Structure 1
Amino acid sequence: MIIRLTLKALIGIILALLAVIVIFIIYITASDYKPAAVVALTTDNNPESKLKQGEPFSVTTFNIGYAGLDQGQDFFMDGGTMSRSSSREQTEANLQAIIQFLKESASDFYLLQEVDVDSTRSNHIHEVEQIRTNLPSYGQTFAHNYKVPWVPVPISKPMGAVQSGLVTLSSFHSSNQRRFDLPGKESWPVQLFELDRAFIESRIPVGQDRELILINLHLSAFDKGGTIRKQQLDFMEEYIQREMRKDNYIIIGGDWNHSLPGTDPSDFPTQQGWPEWLQPFPDSFGPTDFKWAVDASTPSVRTLDSAYQQGVNFLAVIDGFLVSPNVEIISVTGHPLSFSHSDHNPVTGQFILK
């Protein structure tokens, strides 16, 4: 009799758990973030200054790792165990150090990735607002690329609620800003908890009838075999070809999640082998007259399977710029910040529009 009651109770518990899981999946599916293919964005504090041909300007790309991936962190998707910043105090310290770098480098444009709005992993600190407040002279454009009510993994300490995205900061007037959804999705239900990859397009007037098309990009990382990344690059190639027919200037910057052309991870001493998620940039990507602006001497990303130790973690260059032939590259500098406050180092390019 006791065994029968225990078995009945166990079955009841299992059924209750299954019911909770089903209800949770239904809720997540119903609330899944599904933006349109192209979404108009607003810019806070859009400056009046106009970008001019022949005058040098700077662009910095920086994946800030939601101010939670400092030197002491690892990440469960990369083979580690952690899914959140170690503490609110550490998140705030990381964010303030990142903001201080942005202030001191004084770039004309910033392309930021993994900037949280309201996320468990970053202790619900509104990072977008703090950046806007601390850099009041810049126009700021934000677009979501990660919006999930609750990410339930890892089981021991789930990532939790996530609202995060891309931020473009500009010291020049922008006439139009749009979010472009990138193709390629994981299968259901995995996609419910994944990023919705996208890029921000900022159109910066130049003279009477031309524009600088400035793209803030963050491609997929953990898709097996790189199938999704290939779809995204095919989309970008078609986008570039359309814009080039308009005789515009194009600068595409961000986190490409590929080992970029002209760089070699073997140049950086490490005890780790090439990680499974990292792929070389495909030779087939065009157009061929575009140029890469990268700093091959300074790694821009580290692996996150363990906390950072110099000479141990695998390093690569995955952050940089692709520019049209009518954009002159003056210089490219990777900033060796030793991954102190993010798993990425920022990269700055100096350019002139011909």
Structure 2
Amino acid sequence: MVKKALWGLALFCSLVLLCFGAFLLYVTLTDYEPEPALPLTVINNASQKLTTGVPFTVTTFNIGYAGLDKDQDFFMDGGTRSRAASKEQTAKNLSKILSFLKREASSFYLLQEVDVDSSRSYHINQQAAMRQHLPDYGLVFAQNYLVSWVPVPVFDPMGSVNGGLVTLSKYQLKQSTRFSLYGKEDWPQQPFDLDRCIMENRIPLENGKELILVNLHLSAFDKGGKVRKQQLAFLKEFMQRHVQAGNYLILGGDWNHLIPGTAPKRFKAKESWPEWMQTIPSDFLPKGFTWVADGSVPTSRTLALPFKQGINFQSNIDGFLISSNVEVKRVYGHSLQFEYSDHNPVTAEFVLK
């Protein structure tokens, strides 16, 4: 009887391993692998043209797929969850985010973690909602997460994921391109991870040059920051190439590094510096480039626990990097208290010299 039970257990375990192996093979074979440079479609492209000497605003905001509100935690940061609390809560968060975007009325928006059809956000098409509620903007989408099923956390898996970066523009975009970033996690983690990229948006100017507006979202949980080092190397080369061409550059988004010139210690917290938090290497910044951030308002919080002021570690990892021919007039963070996302947005006003 004991032998029969052991045989049954062994058979069951073998079947489980076989199924998991087949699933892993399927995910590996169907892994999203876009071209290194992929042209993107601009929907509802604006006719208004940007000119030098005229102020304009850019807001960057990681919306956390409208699922990482103040009451949420996240398994990769020490919590237990990976999905939004409910479809109703996701819809509420998204509605508040859209209201903020409409109220702020920035010239450009650089948005990260925007879902199109994902289990974690209850299959609400957030890109379509942006098109509906912000009809005066041109919209570009760049895929950076497309997986048929993410099986972790085990008891409440993230499930299917389809999301990416969105740029919204009140000005005419000449061309938008998705560029894959250097560096990937090791197998078998990679097929389940984001395919990191930048979105390059080219805005034509009256002087024959272009504003290169970049939307980015760098890696966060790569051990020791090895992938992030490769991504920064790509960006440095990218910036130097455009400077040599005489273009204007603004790079904005979620850097997942502490923005130079900001200090987390100004925000009271019981949690200590998180393991994933990296600093920007001193040799990264090309000559003439300047960091733009509002160090008085945190843009991110840790997700080991739901948000409580004075408990969670807060920092500035969202902001901008500009070339010497771009002048910053002002920069201000928006203290939304992480009500609808684990990030706070930040806005800067610029003028092209």
- TM-score per shorter chain, which class? over 0.9
1:203 corresponds to which letter in structure 2? R
Cα shift at 1:19: 1.1
Are residue 272 (structure 1) and residue 286 (structure 2) matched?
Answer: no
- Deviation beyond 6 Å, 4+ runs, structure 1: none
Matched, 1:344 2:343: yes
Q: Give the Cα–Cα distance (whole angstroms) in 2 for the partners of residues 47 and 87 of structure 1.
A: 35
One-letter code of the match for 1:301? S
1:123-150 CA deviation, whole Å, 9 max, x = no partner?
Answer: 0100011011100110000011010000
- In the TM superposition, what is the alpha-carbon distance from 1:347 to its structure 2 partner? 0.3
The answer for the alignment partner of 1:66 in structure 2 is 65
Counting matched residue pairs gives: 353
Write the letter of the residue equivalent to 1:136.
P
SS at match of 2:48: coil
Tell me by how many angstroms 1:208 deviates.
4.3
SS in 1 for 2:278: coil
Deviation sequence 1:267-316 (CA, Å, 0-9, x none): 11111110000012211112131011100100000000000000110000
Q: Which residue of 2 aligns with 1:25?
A: 24
Q: Which AA in structure 1 matches 2:234?
A: F
Alignment of 1:44 with 2:43, yes or no, is yes
1:320 correspondence with 2:319: yes
Please name the residue that 1:8 is paired with: 7
* Cα offset, 1:117, TM superposition: 0.5
Residue equivalent to 1:255 = 254
1:177 maps to a residue whose letter is: S
2:329, 2:282 → 1: CA distance? Answer: 24
Structure 1 residue 108 corresponds to structure 2 residue 107: yes
Query: TM-score, normalized by length of structure 1?
Result: 0.99
Q: Give the secondary structure class of the aligned counterpart of 2:13.
A: helix
Larger mean Cα displacement after TM superposition, 64-73 or 200-209? 200-209
Distance 1:59 1:292 in 2: 14
SS at match of 2:210: strand
Match in the other structure for 1:236: 235
Match of 1:304 in 2: 303
Q: Residue in 2 aligned with 1:193?
A: 192
Deviation track 1:43-88 (CA, whole Å, cap 9, x = no partner) reads 1000000001100000000000000000000000000001100011
TM-score, normalization: structure 2?
0.99
Query: Which residue of structure 2 lines up, in the alignment, with residue 293 of structure 1?
Result: 292
Equivalent residue letter for 2:130: I
Paired amino acid for 1:336: S
Structure 2, unaligned stretches of length 5 or more?
A: none
Q: Which runs of 5+ in 1 are unaligned?
A: none
Aligned residue identity for 1:317: N
Distance in 2 separating the partners of 1:203 and 1:88: 36
Identical-residue share of aligned pairs (%): 54
Q: CA deviation at 1:207?
A: 0.7
1:130 maps to 129
1:148-180 Cα shifts (integer Å, max 9, x gaps): 000000101000000010000000001100000
Distance in 2, Cα, partners of 1:176 & 1:27: 35
C-alpha distance in 1 between matches for 2:269 and 2:76? 20
Alignment match, 1:95 = 94
Q: Which residue of 1 aligns with 2:178?
A: 179
What's the CA shift for 1:324?
0.4
- Classify the secondary structure of the residue corresponding to 1:298: coil
Q: What is the alpha-carbon root mean square deviation over aligned residues?
A: 0.6
